[in-house]
Amino acid sequence: MHTVLRICCVLLLCISEVYAAETLTLAPGQASPKANIEQLSWLAGHWRGEALGGVVEEHWAPPFAGTMVGTFKLSSNGKVKFYEIEIIREVADSLVLQLKHFNHDLKGWEEKDKTVDFPLVKIEDNTAYFDGFTIRKISEDEMHMFVVFEREPQLKEAVFKYNRVKP
């Protein structure tokens, strides 16, 4: 609970754009649909945008061994605010997005053996709906991510608009 509150506080302090109804929730007892990591191969690459009051960057490795691994960085005024290590992996014939947060000095937010998990709710050609986290391909060079940062008293989501960084 402490970690979730801390994440929400950081997002609320930094949030610049808020959207609603771009994410889905897995209903109690609902199983994740069949999916494989190759369906998100378009995500591989270097992405940059503006969100949370600063510059955001993500690097995603191509699918390999049933997983994709990514890193996230938020920086503002030339200083790193926080990092994330992210993985999307195949679990029980579906996908789950898992991440861990770190301060600028790599001190972790979550407990040692804990991760923030987003099981898959639905997958389409250009969009993966994880529980509270949506990844949408807009074009070959643009993607948006939507993350729930508050559910009560009403649903609030942050949007991250990325453009592919060309080598």
> What local confidence, expressed as pLDDT, does residue 99 receive?
97
* Dihedral pair phi/psi, residue 161, rounded to 5°: -105, 115
Q: How many domains does the chain divide into?
A: 1
pTM of the predicted protein model: 0.86
Instruction: Point out the residues of the chain with pLDDT beneath 70.
Output: 1-20
With vertex at residue 25, the alpha carbon angle to CA 50 and CA 133, rounded to the nearest 5 degrees, is 20
> What local confidence, expressed as pLDDT, does residue 15 receive?
39
Cis peptide before 153 (omega within 30 of 0): yes
**How many whole angstroms from its chain centre is CA 51?**
13
pLDDT tens per residue across span 65-74? 999 999 999 9
The 3-state DSSP class for residue 38 equals helix
Q: In DSSP terms, which residues pair with 111 in a beta bridge?
A: none
pLDDT tens per residue across span 44-58? 999 999 999 999 999
Residue 72: domain span? 2-164
The tokens describing 77, both together, are 């005024």
> What local confidence, expressed as pLDDT, does residue 153 receive?
79
**84 burial type by CB count under 10 A (0-12 exposed, 13-18 middle, 19+ buried):** middle
> What local confidence, expressed as pLDDT, does residue 149 receive?
79
Which residues fall within 8 angstroms of residue 67, CB to CB, at 6 or more apart?
37, 87, 88, 89, 90
Q: In DSSP terms, which residues pair with 139 in a beta bridge?
A: 142
* Dihedral pair phi/psi, residue 153, rounded to 5°: -80, -15
Count CB neighbours of 134 within 10 A: 23
Q: Domain holding 141: CATH number? A: 2.40.128
> What local confidence, expressed as pLDDT, does residue 21 receive?
76
> What local confidence, expressed as pLDDT, does residue 7 receive?
45
